[in-house]
Amino acid sequence: MDVFFPQVLAGSRKPAIMADAAYAIVVRNSSSVTGQFFIDEGVLRGPGIADLEQYAVTPGAKLYTDIFLD
């Protein structure tokens, strides 16, 4: 586990990605988002945010895929 942890930490996301994704959902028409499941990255890419670099804990590192997703 100790060998794996630095890689996961380097590719981790800052909490701001969740805050920005939550805001993007809250400002939408509620009837278009009710009952849906969202992934932070998908929510932000939807309106055209392609560069998620600002959310990386380690600049330049590839964001690590959530362990609950395929």
* Alpha-carbon gap, residue 46 to 28, rounded angstroms: 12
CB atoms within 10 A of CB 40: 21
Q: What is the pLDDT of residues 4-49, one digit of tens each?
A: 677 778 888 899 999 999 999 999 999 988 899 898 888 998 877 8
Q: Considering the entire predicted model, what is its pTM?
A: 0.76
Structure-model confidence comparison of residues 12 and 68, the more confident one: 12
pLDDT at site 52 = 86
Segment 54-69 shows an average pLDDT of 80
Structure-model confidence comparison of residues 66 and 59, the more confident one: 59
Domain ranges of the chain: 5-55
